[in-house]
């Protein structure tokens, strides 16, 4: 059994993958916030990323070219989701943990998966809010929770897991398959910790990366205030 660490941490740059002149957009990022962070302007970011037509609409998992940053150039296309071998993407997750199971579904739309028999997802959940639905289903498939503990609500899933003895751990002590709970601007999101890639944390979840705002299983998706919880061992 692990000893509980701090419940939440704020603004941890390790939660956002950055390499060279690109930024892997995380859940909760805004174009204006990224412009301020990198010392540039919203107009400059839009000029460097031609697929962004609305400054108020960017998607987690997309790769943003940051003009003037070290290594900036053409970079990856703005609609590329980071994955194995890509900017911000980890290598293959190994083992039978929940993260390894989740990785099998990278690139699949949540709207498709919830109607398949591959994961025990709830089909009634709207296509743009399947993060807890996906994580619950993966945890069930990994044998970590019972069907009655699954939930399409992030907060309810968190309560169910903690009620079953899941405990808070630090990022440094997290293991692949641990659950990452996030809060940013009053919104909740959940993904799975997938391990470290060259010292950088990686995550897998059902994220709003499709152009219509619906979710697809992708790398990334962690941002804002977060808590990592793990089953008691």
Instruction: Note the pLDDT tens digit of each residue in 38-79.
Output: 778 888 889 888 888 888 788 777 788 888 644 333 232 322
What is the per-residue pLDDT for 72? Answer: 36
- CATH number corresponding to 83-230: 3.90.1720.10
What is the per-residue pLDDT for 90? Answer: 47
Backbone angles phi, psi at 24, to 5 degrees: -85, 110
Topology (CATH) of 18-65: Membrane-bound Lytic Murein Transglycosylase D; Chain A (3.10.350)
- The secondary element (H helix, E strand) that includes residue 135 is helix 131-141
Axis-axis angle for helices 154-163, 131-141 (nearest 10): 30
With H, G, I as helix, E, B as strand and everything else as coil, classify residue 109: strand
Q: Are 184 and 10 in contact (CB under 8 A)?
A: no
Q: Are 118 and 109 in contact (CB under 8 A)?
A: no
Q: Please state the pTM of the whole predicted model.
A: 0.65
Q: How far is CA 74 from CA 55, 57, 95, 214, in A?
A: 20, 21, 36, 27
Rounded to an integer, the average pLDDT of 134-161 is 96
Beta carbons within 8 Å of 32's beta carbon, 6+ residues apart: 42, 55
Instruction: Measure the CA dihedral 203/208/211/216, to 10°.
Output: 60
Q: Give 160 or 58, the one with higher predicted confidence.
A: 160
Return the minimum-mean-pLDDT range out of 25-39, 101-115, 156-170: 25-39
How many C-beta atoms surround the C-beta of residue 156 within 10 A?
A: 14
Task: List, for residues 80-101, the tens digit of each pLDDT value.
Answer: 233 333 323 444 454 458 999 9
For the chain, give the longest Cα–Cα distance: 51
Average pLDDT, the chain: 78
Domain boundaries, the chain: 18-65, 83-230
Rounded to an integer, the average pLDDT of 173-185 is 90
Q: Is the pLDDT of residue 23 over 90?
A: no
């Amino acid at each position: 059994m692990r000893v509980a660490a701090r419940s939440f941490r704020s603004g941890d740059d390790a939660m956002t993958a950055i390499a060279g002149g690109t930024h892997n957009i995380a859940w909760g990022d805004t174009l204006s916030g990224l412009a301020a962070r990198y010392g540039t302007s919203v107009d400059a970011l839009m000029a460097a990323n031609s697929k962004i037509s609305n400054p108020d609409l960017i998607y987690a998992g997309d790769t943003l070219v940051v003009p003037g940053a070290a290594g900036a150039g053409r970079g990856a296309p703005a609609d590329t989701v980071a994955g194995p071998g890509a900017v911000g993407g980890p290598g293959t997750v190994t083992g039978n943990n929940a993260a390894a199971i989740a990785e099998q579904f990278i690139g699949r739309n949540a709207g498709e998966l919830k109607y398949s028999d591959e994961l025990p997802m709830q089909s009634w959940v709207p296509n743009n809010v399947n993060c807890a639905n996906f994580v619950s289903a993966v945890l069930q498939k990994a044998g970590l929770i019972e069907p009655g503990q699954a939930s399409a609500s992030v907060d309810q899933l968190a309560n169910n897991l903690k009620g079953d003895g899941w405990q808070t751990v630090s990022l440094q002590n997290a293991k692949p398959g641990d659950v990452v709970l996030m809060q940013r601007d009053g919104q909740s999101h959940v993904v799975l910790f997938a391990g470290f890639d060259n010292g950088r944390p990686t995550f897998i979840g059902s994220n709003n990366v499709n152009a219509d705002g619906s979710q697809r299983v992708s790398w990334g998706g962690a941002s804002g205030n977060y808590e990592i919880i793990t089953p008691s061992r």
